[in-house]
Amino acid sequence: MKNKAWLFEAMMAIVAMVLATGCSAGSGVSKTASSTPSLAHVPRTVTGLASEAPTPESGTVFAWGDNDYGQLGDGTTDAQRRPTLVPGLTGITQITTNQEDVVYALDTRGQVYIWGDDAYRPLDVGNDSEQTTPILVPGLTGITQIAAGEESGYALGAGGQVYAWGENYYGQLGDGTTDDRDTPILVPGLTGITQIAAGDESAYALGAGGQVYAWGDNERGQLGDRTTRERHRPIPVPGLTGITQIAAREESAFAVGADGQVRAWGSNDQGQQGDGGVTERHTPRLVRGLAGITQVAAGSDITYAIGAGGQVYTWGFPHIWLDDQIDADLDTPQPIRGLTGVAQIVVGDDSIYAIGAGGQVYAWGDNFDGQLGDGTTVDRDSPTPVPGLTGITQIAAGDDSAYAVVG
Q: What residues have CB less than 8 Å from 363, skipping those under 6 apart?
A: 351, 352, 353, 354, 371, 372, 373, 374, 380, 383, 384, 386, 402
- Sheet hosting strand 401-406, strand order edge to edge: 80-85, 61-65, 401-406, 392-397
Q: Residue 233: which residues within 8 A CB-CB, separation 6 or more?
A: 171, 174, 175, 176, 188, 189, 215
Per the domain annotation, does 34 fall within a domain?
no
According to the 3-state scheme, what is the secondary structure of 48-79? CHHHHCCCCCCCCEEEEECCCCCCCCCCCCCC
Assigned domain for 96 exists: yes
CATH assignment at residue 235: 2.130.10.30
Contact in structure between 262 and 287 (CB atoms under 8 Å) = yes
Q: How far apart are CA 108 and CA 13, in angstroms?
A: 75
Split at pLDDT 50, 70, 90, the class of 150 is very high
Query: So what's the pLDDT on residue 76?
Result: 96
Q: How confident is the model at residue 31, as a pLDDT? A: 33
- How many structural domains is the chain composed of? 1
- Give SS3 for 232: strand
Q: 210 vs 138, which has greater pLDDT?
A: 210
Other beta carbons within 10 angstroms of residue 100's beta carbon come to 20
d(CA 103, CA 78): 16
Question: In this structure, what is the dihedral angle of CA atoms 102, 177, 144, 285, given to the nearest 10 degrees?
Answer: -90
What is the model's pLDDT at position 25? 36
Does the residue 320 lie in any domain?
yes
Give the whole-angstrom CA distance, residue 339 versus residue 76: 35
pLDDT, mean over the chain:
85
Which residues have CB under 8 Å from 250's CB, separation 6+? Answer: 99, 199, 200, 267, 300
pLDDT score, position 338: 77
45, part of any domain:
no
User: Residue 199: inside a domain, yes or no?
Assistant: yes
Provide the domain limits for residue 245. 70-406
pLDDT category, 54, cuts 50, 70, 90? very low
**What is the rounded average pLDDT of the residues 179-195?**
96
Structural domain includes residue 231 = yes
- Does residue 390 surpass a pLDDT of 50? yes
Confidence grade of residue 269 (pLDDT, cut at 50, 70, 90): confident
Which of the four pLDDT bands, split at 50, 70 and 90, describes residue 301? confident
**Taking 70 as the threshold, does the pLDDT of residue 322 lie above it?**
no
How far, in Å, are 58, 87, 135, 407 from residue 109 at the CA level? 14, 18, 15, 16
Q: What are phi and psi of 268, to 5 degrees?
A: -150, 25
Task: State the average pLDDT over residues 9-36.
Answer: 37
Q: Of residues 11 and 282, which shows the higher confidence score?
A: 282
Question: For 339-385, what is each residue's pLDDT tens digit?
Answer: 889 999 999 998 999 999 889 999 999 999 999 999 999 999 889 99
State yes or no: pLDDT of 121 exceeds 50.
Answer: yes
DSSP letter assigned to residue 44: P
pTM: 0.84
Pairwise pLDDT comparison (332 vs 298), residue with the higher score = 298
In order, the DSSP letters of 333-391 are EEE-TT--S-SEEEE-SSEEEEE-GGG-EEEEE--TTSTT-SSS---EEEEEE-TT--S
Residue 207 pLDDT greater than 70, yes or no: yes
